[in-house]
Amino acid sequence: DADRKDFQRFMRSPNGRTLLQRRTFLPDLLDNHAPLKALPKGTVGRTYVDFMEREGLTAHGLVEESLAQRDAKEKFDDDLLWYDNRLRDTHDMYHILTGYGRDALGEDALLGYTHSQHGGFGIRFIAYMGNREIAKEAPKEARVKEVLAEGRRNGKLAKRIVEQDIEKLLDQPLEDVRERLNIQEPVLYKRAM
């Protein structure tokens, strides 16, 4: 139900129908590093490619991992599956745009952010349980519960990333995109780190 409701919300957005009709396969675009490296420093695309190379990641790697986890029933090429794939394919872009890192606390805060933008009990549960585990190891001064709450707040305040035309964002200055999408700085996360 959460997936269908989220997809319907996407389809009511200004870009939803256009993005669905185009069906751009983002991993091909995002793994083509040469044009992204040619962009000026500080642009979304250049920041993305620098992040992916520094972390040793590829967009296709995420695709391969998700396909290995899928049930046989999810092998149909329908609109909802395309949308679910788009959510998967934009995950690392969420890291770039929101400022949350790939460390455990950053991933947890990003789950809170994602839950606020898309809903779903599963994401909420994983974020909650992850936060509990992180809190067991982290010093109290890190205030990990507040970091997750900040991620949720930031997700509610911002425009939905999945509804953006990712191709058109790549050559734009990252700070301008964050401002336009009302993406708040993750202050408590940075302080905790």
Contact present, 43 and 55 (Cβ < 8 Å): no
The pLDDT assigned to 75 comes to 57
The pLDDT assigned to 43 comes to 98
The pLDDT assigned to 71 comes to 62
The pLDDT assigned to 68 comes to 77
The predicted-structure confidence for 119-171, as pLDDT tens digits, reads as follows 999 999 999 999 999 999 999 999 999 999 999 999 999 999 999 999 999 99
Q: How confident is the model at residue 6 (pLDDT cuts 50, 70, 90)?
A: very high
Residue 73 CB contacts under 8 Å (≥ 6 apart), including other chains: none
The predicted-structure confidence for 65-107, as pLDDT tens digits, reads as follows 888 776 654 555 689 999 999 999 999 999 999 999 999 999 9
Based on its alpha-carbon atoms, the radius of gyration of the chain, rounded to whole angstroms, reads 17
The predicted-structure confidence for 31-61, as pLDDT tens digits, reads as follows 999 999 999 999 999 999 999 999 999 999 8
